[in-house]
Amino acid sequence: MGNVTASVAARFAFFPPEPASYEVIRRGGSDGEAAGIRIVSGMGGGRGERDAEAHVISTRSGTKVATAFLRHPSAKLTLLYSHGNAADLGQMLELLSELRSHLKLNVMCYDYSGYGASTGKPTEHNTYHDIEAVYDCLKKQYDIRQEDIILYGQSVGSGPTLHLASRLKNLRGVVLHSPILSGIRVLYPIKVTLPFDIFKNIDRIKQVKCPVLVMHGTADEIVDFSHGKRLYELAKEKYDPLWVTGGGHCNLETFPEYIKHLRKFISDMEKLQAERPVYTNASSINETEVKHNKCLRFGKR
């Protein structure tokens, strides 16, 4: 029963778009260094692709994940964005470009193993290794400090987001957008965490030591509103949540309160930069063991 249930939960979690909506442009041929992102199909629309700095990063699972870094000239903070279950990097570029512009920060997004131009298979633990590798890229390639990073997890992306957030003591903040309590809890309203469950956010949220903003739609048809409410209740350092009346699972970005609330959160996190104490040895990571997610432009439903 356990294996069957876990398999069902995993199938809910991962829906890589096929074919991929983009390809990685490389200098000097197919074996050259990644140089950019080219939209080939889907919702990307081409916006933001010219100035997206692409990387293909090796993970400790042995896979290679595709990333895009969007730089803002006056950024004080960087958003590390983990997208939903049925999107890929190309489909996200337009939204990421708008977030960069509206929030005035750098944005790093990546594709999970098995998504888009990333190799391997999408599994729970591969997503953990994926986000760890991307975080290391931000530190080493861009010299971005942990305390200047905000982790953003949408839907199933809340899993890798809370995995990393629970291991880092000096993050500036965390945003959970239509998050899940756990994989099986999306399917069944269980009261206790089962050992074979995936993305056990209900347990990890208690280990996060930075401000947590939770956003959820009250009419979410994929992940019930109760998931966001419970994660907010369990967060140690709560930030004012955003409950979008009538909001669904894939359209929070279309409501004006979404970007307004995010702006306030980013502004407050910038003010914390000079106030928050920094823990020693905080840059290391402790090693342990649907529906199509269309993220629309602001104001379009």
Percent of the chain whose pLDDT exceeds 70? 82
Identity at 282, one-letter amino acid code: A
C-alpha pair distances (Å), 26 with each of 31, 36, 55, 107, 114? 7, 7, 10, 21, 19
Of 72, 226, 229, 210, nearest to 152 (Cα)? 210
Q: Which pLDDT tens digit goes with each residue over 138-172?
A: 999 999 999 999 999 999 999 999 999 999 999 99
Q: What does the mean pLDDT of the chain come to?
A: 87
Does the annotation mark 220 as catalytic?
A: yes
Taking each helix axis from N to C end, the angle separating 158-165 and 124-142, rounded to the nearest 10 degrees, works out to: 60
State pLDDT tens for residues 233-274. 999 999 999 999 999 999 999 999 999 999 999 999 999 866
Query: pLDDT class for 10, splitting at 50, 70, 90?
Result: low
Q: Is 155 designated active site?
A: yes
172-210: per-residue pLDDT in tens?
999 999 999 999 999 998 989 898 899 999 999 999 999
Residue 249 designated active-site: yes
Which of 88, 197, 220, 224 is the catalytic position?
220
Catalytic member of 21, 113, 155, 158: 155
